[in-house]
Structure 1
């Protein structure tokens, strides 16, 4: 028996998405995953009700290697653009797991709604491995020497005769990277930030942020962040410190007034990584091949990983690290702890082979 008013798969999915109307960011993420599945099935002339257990393996393989690439992969574009594509590139193992987690929830809901007669996710014997959203140790981050090189490159003096636009863009990108490194925001949180989100309480500065699931958090602002903020406000011809009720956007377009959208911010960060990779290659040549490769592959989320990893390496306690990251579970935050690996490696180095004598060990 059907328990929802729907005449197509798209309408049924829309009913499911409506359950998340109070969490816009979650709703957008869920819509993206459901849309990818609908498009993938549509290419085969199939509907949601036809999905079977072996299709889940085929769909996961598609996410790992979407083909033909020109039909599925492209840069960020408005959904209405003819150049829009559902994927930016192949999804990592963690992203594929996340996609399956979301789609499992979709099918559980559709089954209860009577839209599909069968939930293929319930047949997965390795369900825990596939659908548990816990990922292995974080590896997509910049190691400290590479980050320090990048920050020095971002901070290089600007030519005195540079055009006003160039000076603005250089100031903005330095602020963006510093903001990302010091406070570990997600890209949507950076785009949505307002000047008034930085406020003083009992002599200390804090950043108010609305994160995933529309959860509000207040994060301590370190001194270096306040220095960066004052420099950025100077570039905008504003007073050094934000005031209560200052609703203007933190990150702005070239006119200095409008908010910088999440898609444009994503492209700005990716373009900066690629430009930095070219500069590093020209500066150090083949000696920096691995570092150059990492910069070319880096995405905005690498900045969040870098921030949290470096905080962990600096000795920030796990409970405070989790609060900064706004993770619901400590084991999620623990993925950033590399210090134990370093100590394990140091102690393991004590164990070696006896020096050879007479050609024998």
Structure 2
């Protein structure tokens, strides 16, 4: 490991320690800290693999790193299933990163380098030399595309609901009811997957005749979201499966989602795999029907848990939920982030342009 540079303003002996000090700035936001650590770790491992240190990352090598994120090779060395960090089979990637994930990685690492530069650990920030910053380093995007259109969502929910109703008693029924509740929760309240995994029964609270879901989101920000009637119904069904009363009490601090023993909580990674498996099984079921459009099958196969959040917010926007309330449901700091879910203007644009023809009528 390379020693500390002359003039460094932080007490670190090497790159890993310097990055550790940067990560310590996020100690009050554990989820953010874990996410940032993952991106920093990937960069440090890649640099070490090339015999480089942080101070040697320049514009050209940054382009090489971005290409690596899109296709980590050799795959057997970099890609693998979820494992504990201490497991010898642990790998830093589950698969190649898509464009949005690469952009997010670069945004995080740009912030890390800005901090390291201010700390005197590196002489410059190579991310600032990227000319096409609007595309690659700006976290704002165009309209959200990773969501399920209404007809496909309607079919998917019916399939999940029917499968839960038809499941035999015991473990098959428990698992089918659990995934039914997960999809209902994800669609009706638009949580992030970490928020679903961390939810407790007591997070649902009755105040002045209305139910609210209290959640701690990104940056450890607290919020309270109104709970729709169908969410209360789904919660009652799930609690019934657990042998509990329909409505939770204020002191029920047990996990909302449970393992097969009915007590153990589900982690983010396990929940991610359950949702992905449900999407894959749905795609197979839809394909067997023989009348599915190729783009519908492709959407189900590509869908991740975050698609459910996008689907929820998009459908709420299409249903006419005002932007200010949609932003509060999404817990976005900026309205332009929420505006990505507004597809109605695109539909109206299509309608008006449809009258523009090569040979005007009349």
Pick the TM interval, shorter chain.
over 0.9
**Alignment correspondent of 1:336:** 341
- Does residue 194 (structure 1) correspond to residue 235 (structure 2)? The answer is no
**Alignment correspondent of 1:314:** 319
What is the distance in 2 between the residues matched to 1:122 and 1:342? Answer: 37
- Does residue 95 (structure 1) correspond to residue 101 (structure 2)? The answer is yes
- Does residue 350 (structure 1) correspond to residue 361 (structure 2)? The answer is no
What is the distance in 1 between the residues matched to 2:198 and 2:359? Answer: 60
The runs of 5 or more residues in structure 1 that have no matched partner are 357-361
Moved more, 52-61 or 164-173: 52-61
Q: Tell me the number of residue pairs that the alignment of Structure 1 and Structure 2 aligns.
A: 355
How big is the alpha-carbon RMSD for the aligned residues of Structure 1 and Structure 2? 1.6
What is the distance in 2 between the residues matched to 1:275 and 1:128? Answer: 38
What is the distance in 2 between the residues matched to 1:158 and 1:218? Answer: 29
The runs of 5 or more residues in structure 2 that have no matched partner are 1-6
Superposed displacement of residue 114, structure 1: 2.1
- Does residue 206 (structure 1) correspond to residue 212 (structure 2)? The answer is yes
- The equivalences for 1:196-275 within 5 A come to 196-275=202-281
What is the distance in 1 between the residues matched to 2:207 and 2:134? Answer: 44
- The equivalences for 1:134-153 within 5 A come to 134-153=140-159
Provide closer, same or farther for how the CA distance between residues 67 and 114 of structure 1 changes in structure 2, counting only shifts above 3 A: same
**Alignment correspondent of 1:359:** none
From 300, 321, 324, the equivalent of 2:305 is 300
Query: Given the two structures, how large is their TM-score scaled by the length of structure 1?
Result: 0.94
Superposed displacement of residue 159, structure 1: 7.1
Provide closer, same or farther for how the CA distance between residues 248 and 2 of structure 1 changes in structure 2, counting only shifts above 3 A: same
**Alignment correspondent of 1:324:** 329
Provide closer, same or farther for how the CA distance between residues 349 and 222 of structure 1 changes in structure 2, counting only shifts above 3 A: same
SS in 2 for 1:155: helix
SS in 1 for 2:238: helix
SS in 2 for 1:156: helix
What is the distance in 1 between the residues matched to 2:125 and 2:164? Answer: 59
- Is the contact between residue 64 and residue 96 of structure 1 (CA under 8 Å) also seen in structure 2? yes
**Alignment correspondent of 2:4:** none
SS in 1 for 2:345: helix
Residues 287-339 of structure 1 deviation map (CA, whole Å, 9 limit, x = unaligned): 43221111111100000000000000001000000000000000000011111
What is the distance in 2 between the residues matched to 1:29 and 1:105? Answer: 13
Query: Given the two structures, how large is their TM-score scaled by the length of structure 2?
Result: 0.94
What is the distance in 2 between the residues matched to 1:169 and 1:355? Answer: 59
SS in 2 for 1:89: coil
